[in-house]
Structure 1
Amino acid sequence: MSKVNYFTEEGLKKLKDEVKHLESVERPKISQQIAEARDKGDLSENAEYDAAKEAQGMLEAKIAKLKEQLANARIIDDSNMDTSKALILSTVKIKNVKNGAVMEYTLVAESEADLKLKKISVDSPIGKGLLGKSVGDVAPIQTPAGVMEFEVLEITR
């Protein structure tokens, strides 16, 4: 049974655009490389041909994986979600109880996680620890460095 993948509208559009790019740009490019390598003669000793065929296989596997994600995609409707608790698509401001460092993250599906954009997966240790917490709650979170405690300062959408 396939796993349901949750996306924001923006994340789903990005995934569809990536599939379209791979099918309409990258696939023809690799087909062209295979054709050029085939024109060079003996295929049994043609490293270019082997490399192009391998690249084609990896590309087709990636396209298949992305299409499976699309087939099982569901868009998250945050219009009627509880804003008093940290849920997917919540922006949560937290404070490290030990050192006082304040951070702000948006909880997103695993496929949309991007630490540079301060988007963390609900499947990550911090994401799991924050789910369901309210303002003022302290979340003990198991990290590779040991258990860390984070206080929830603010939850927004």
Structure 2
Amino acid sequence: MSKVSYYTAEGLKKLREELSYLKDVERPKASKAIGEARDKGDLSENAEYDAAKEAQGLLELRISKMEETLSNARLIDESQLDTSKALILSTVKLKNLNNGMEMKYTLVAESEANLKAAKISVNSPIGQGLLGKKVGEIAEIAVPNGILKFEILEISR
């Protein structure tokens, strides 16, 4: 059974663009490589042909998985989200109670996570620990290194 994934408009657009690129650019390249390898003679001893066929198979698998992801993708309507709790697309300002550091993260879908851009997945341990919390609450999150305690300072969209 496939699971539903939630995306922002930007994330869904990137996913569609990547799928389009794979179909319109990479697929013809793979077919051309197979054709060129086929023209080189005996297929039973043609490693180039075997490699091109394998690359095409992997490409088709990737396209298939991406199409399945897109078919189960749902666009998040930000206007319907509760701003009093940390939910997907919330920007949460936290204070680490262990060391006093303050940080700000945006909770996003797994496919849009990017730590350098301060976007963490709602499926990550920290993301899961923050979901549903309100300003002033303490989130205790179990990570491989122990338990982290974060105070929720601010939630915005």
TM-score by length of 1: 0.97
Shift of residue 75, structure 1, vs aligned partner: 0.5
Q: Counterpart in 1 of 2:108?
A: 108
Distance 2:83 2:99 in 1: 27
* SS of match in other structure, 2:141: strand
Q: Counterpart in 2 of 1:156?
A: 156
Runs of 5+ consecutive residues of structure 2 not aligned to the other structure: none
User: What amino acid sits opposite 2:20 in the alignment?
Assistant: K
Distance 2:51 2:39 in 1: 15
Distance 1:58 1:102 in 2: 43
- In the alignment of these two chains, the number of paired residues is 157
Q: Counterpart in 2 of 1:99?
A: 99
Distance 1:85 1:30 in 2: 48
* SS of match in other structure, 2:78: coil
Q: Counterpart in 2 of 1:5?
A: 5
Distance 2:142 2:34 in 1: 49
User: What amino acid sits opposite 1:78 in the alignment?
Assistant: E
Q: Counterpart in 1 of 2:14?
A: 14
Distance 2:25 2:154 in 1: 44
1:79 aligns with 2:53: no
User: What amino acid sits opposite 1:112 in the alignment?
Assistant: E
Of all paired residues, the percent bearing the same amino acid is 69
Shift of residue 80, structure 1, vs aligned partner: 2.4
Divergent runs of 4+, >4 A: none
Offset from partner CA, 1:25-58 (integer Å, 9 cap, x none): 0000111111111111111121111111111111
Q: Counterpart in 2 of 1:51?
A: 51
TM-score by length of 2: 0.97
Q: Counterpart in 2 of 1:136?
A: 136
